[in-house]
Structure 1
Amino acid sequence: MSDLENIDYYDYKALLKRARSQIPDYVFQKDRFELPEIEILIEGNRTIIRNFRELAKAVNRDEEFFAKYLLKETGSAGNLEGGRLILQRRISPELLKSRINDFLREYVICRECGKPDTKIIKEGRVHLLKCMACGAIRPIRMI
């Protein structure tokens, strides 16, 4: 006898249990999104994020886009150089971490399901954040 013959098609709990057994375990993990520790170095009047490339890869966003956001939010000039972001003023690590968290909330994390599996897509002149996990779509402001 196969599994299908043993299932009572009107037993919701049995059907739910069967469906959940076919879903990979990582889907149920809440802590699978981990941002690497931010390496901030202050040299004179410059602030350097040494592992900026790894941060951008971890959040699955373009380095230029991420850098543009941080430069705008900190009110600083700066540039990307060899996987590092160099800001042309002294910025406290707490402020930088706060701005990075703001970026995650606005451009990475889905507001519906809370997962980081999102993409930025463009439809016409509107940019949208589309969640690949739950399918939610919401408009975002571009930088």
Structure 2
Amino acid sequence: MADEINEIREEQEQLAPFDPSKKKKKKKVVIQEPVEDLAESSQTEKSDSLPVNDGLESSFTGMKKKKKKPTESSLLNNESVDAGEDLDEIANDEQEGEEGIVLQQRYPWEGSERDYIYDELLGRVFNILRENNPELAGDRRRTVMRPPQVLREGTKKTVFVNFMDLCKTMHRQPDHVMQYLLAELGTSGSLDGQQRLVVKGRFAPKNFEGILRRYITDYVICLGCKSPDTILSKENRLFFLRCEKCGSQRSVAPIKTGFVARVSRRKT
């Protein structure tokens, strides 16, 4: 009976005239969430309020993190890069060290305001001379002369076979050398048809060798640089020895002849 009464009232209300002043009442809809959904929503709110690291640590407190092992390729690449850098640094250091050593050996006074030392200046002068004159930097050229070849001709004459060859080696005129030899031996002689020096008397090779040594000392070797490249010239009755290397010039003593007895046959 109550249901019928309610239905009748609703029909009457629908059939009643429309009143714009009245507002229609809205029915409130209430939705009940399950308990599990409420727990999940509370956990999400808490996780949003916490930082990322704290949330991860709190959620995985019972587990330990595993460290990743570096691969062999990455290790090899790193070692090769480090080795290349080390080699480049070592090469640069060696180059800088060599340059510094060269500069220090050549100019020891660089980088300081000290006074020059006499030995350093003298060494620098000689270095400049060697750079400008490379021929002076080498060893001194030694002149090697052949020993005199002496033969006997008969019982009273001696033949100097390689006389002309020795004159060419010393770059001296044969007449001047022959004049000196005859003056030192105290005898007389002449050149034969084969350009050999024939001397009167008996003489050993040692006699000619000693005389030639004295001739080289007096008329060939330069006293300044000890060079055999010299020129002997005669000016105003004097002989001058001029060196082609150092340019020095000096006068030499004339050849002195000893007493020679003149032997002539008596007229009968």
TM-score, normalising length: structure 2: 0.45
Residue number in structure 2 paired with 1:124: 236
- Confirm or deny: 8 A CA contact 1:26 1:32 kept in the other structure: no
Q: Is 1:73–2:184 an aligned residue pair?
A: yes
Distance 1:109 1:27, change over 3 A: farther
Tell me: higher relative CO, structure 1 or 2? Use CA pairs within 8 A at least 6 residues apart.
1
Letter in 1 for 2:208: L
Residue number in structure 2 paired with 1:38: 148
- Confirm or deny: 8 A CA contact 1:36 1:58 kept in the other structure: no
RMSD: 2.6
- Confirm or deny: 8 A CA contact 1:129 1:139 kept in the other structure: yes
Letter in 2 for 1:123: E
* In structure 1, C-alpha distance between the alignment counterparts of 2:199 and 2:237, rounded to whole Å: 30
List per-residue Cα deviations over 1:70-96 (Å, max 9, x = no partner): 011101110012221111111122121
Residue number in structure 2 paired with 1:91: 203
> Higher Cα Rg: structure 1 or 2?
2
Identity %: 29
- Confirm or deny: 8 A CA contact 2:146 2:166 kept in the other structure: yes
Deviation, structure 1 residue 124: 2.7
Residue number in structure 2 paired with 1:64: 175
Residue number in structure 1 paired with 2:227: 115
Give 5+ residue unaligned stretches, structure 2. Answer: 1-105, 108-120, 256-268
Distance 1:27 1:70, change over 3 A: farther
Q: Is 1:134–2:241 an aligned residue pair?
A: no
Secondary structure of the 1:20 match is helix
* Higher share in helix: 2
Deviation, structure 1 residue 106: 0.7
Secondary structure of the 2:215 match is helix
* Higher share in strand: 1
Letter in 2 for 1:35: M
* In structure 2, C-alpha distance between the alignment counterparts of 1:102 and 1:64, rounded to whole Å: 17
- Confirm or deny: 8 A CA contact 2:148 2:208 kept in the other structure: no
TM-score, normalising length: structure 1: 0.79
* In structure 2, C-alpha distance between the alignment counterparts of 1:41 and 1:60, rounded to whole Å: 24
* In structure 2, C-alpha distance between the alignment counterparts of 1:14 and 1:105, rounded to whole Å: 33
Give 5+ residue unaligned stretches, structure 1. Answer: 1-9
